[in-house]
Amino acid sequence: MFTLNNKVAVITGGGSGIGRAIAVTFAKQGAIIHIIEMDKSAADAVVNEITQLNGKAFAHHCNVSIQKEVIAVFENIGNINILVNNAGIAHIGKADTTTEEDFDRLMQVNVKGVYNCIYAVIPHLKKSSGGSIINMASIAAHVGLPDRFAYSTAKGAVMAMTMSVAKDYLQENIRCNSISPARVHTPFVDGFLKKSYPGNEAAMFEKLSKTQPIGRMGKPEEVAALALYLCSDEASFITGCDYPIDGGFIKLNN
């Protein structure tokens, strides 16, 4: 079950964190991986990791917010069966403390970047007689998180795009779903704690972990397992859905 043998999967932001876990998991299940990254050295490291597991992977340096770059990379890849829109950036701020520059930056990467990749991949999925798109949304699209105005706005847009694409391409056998994680323990979290709470990282990590009712942060591999299911043939009856993976945050955090 859940094999992706010889399926070609494009994963944006696949050089670290959740994207890396998805790339490695998909490769273990037989997919041919194409990582799209701004950080080429990080992408190359994941490619080497997959190669050592006897998998096939390739790295592409690309800014997802620039459409012509995205189209060129996708044309170079050719046949594509799976797209995981994982690349994104974070921002802390309320509506009146978010600058126009920061708001535009979030929209360029987290919204336009997703659109650009969907725009570029649809023709390839049609040629492949269908396929699967996964967009990484967030619990921030579901609930009001403090100081996450621009980020929540962007992830809300990602969820809306997911539903629209799922509806528009049903007849082409293209499925589109989104995943909404809560806090997941990634290198980004460690870097944020080191920068914001020097010398107090462990205590803050524990505090952030307990904001999930389950009492801990998620693991990148857990998100990757959900993505694997949604991209597998076993999920062929699923499209137009958002899947929270949040340790009970949305429903149980009262």
Arithmetic mean of pLDDT, 56-71: 98
Closest CA to 138 of 94, 107, 182: 182
Q: What is the pTM of this model?
A: 0.95
Q: Which two tokens stand for residue 5?
A: 């043998």
| pLDDT for position 191 | 87
User: Running DSSP on this structure, what letter comes out for residue 68?
Assistant: H
pLDDT above 80 for 99: yes
Instruction: Give 15-54 pLDDT, tens digit per residue.
Output: 999 999 999 999 999 999 999 999 999 999 999 999 999 9
Q: pLDDT category, 57, cuts 50, 70, 90?
A: very high
Instruction: Give 185-200 pLDDT, tens digit per residue.
Output: 998 889 888 888 999 9
CATH of 8-182+219-248, one of 3.40.50.2000, 3.40.50.720, 3.30.110.40, 3.40.800.10: 3.40.50.720
d(CA 87, CA 78): 20
| pLDDT for position 56 | 98
User: Running DSSP on this structure, what letter comes out for residue 30?
Assistant: T
Q: What is the percent of the chain with per-residue pLDDT over 90, rounded to a whole number?
A: 94
In sequence order, what are the beta bridge partners of 59? 35
Closest CA to 81 of 114, 39, 128: 128
Active-site position among 115, 119, 151, 197 = 151
| pLDDT for position 30 | 98
| pLDDT for position 192 | 83
Q: Where in the chain is the domain with CATH 3.40.50.720?
A: 8-182+219-248
Instruction: Give 218-248 pLDDT, tens digit per residue.
Output: 999 999 999 999 999 999 999 999 999 999 9
Residue 243 annotated to the active site: no
Instruction: Give 128-179 pLDDT, tens digit per residue.
Output: 999 999 999 999 999 989 999 999 999 999 999 999 999 999 999 999 999 9
Arithmetic mean of pLDDT, 99-114: 98
pLDDT above 70 for 254: no
CA dihedral 41→45→46→50, nearest 10 degrees, is 140
Single-letter amino acid code for the residue at 11: I
List CB contacts of 96: < 8 A, sequence separation 6 or more. none
| pLDDT for position 187 | 87
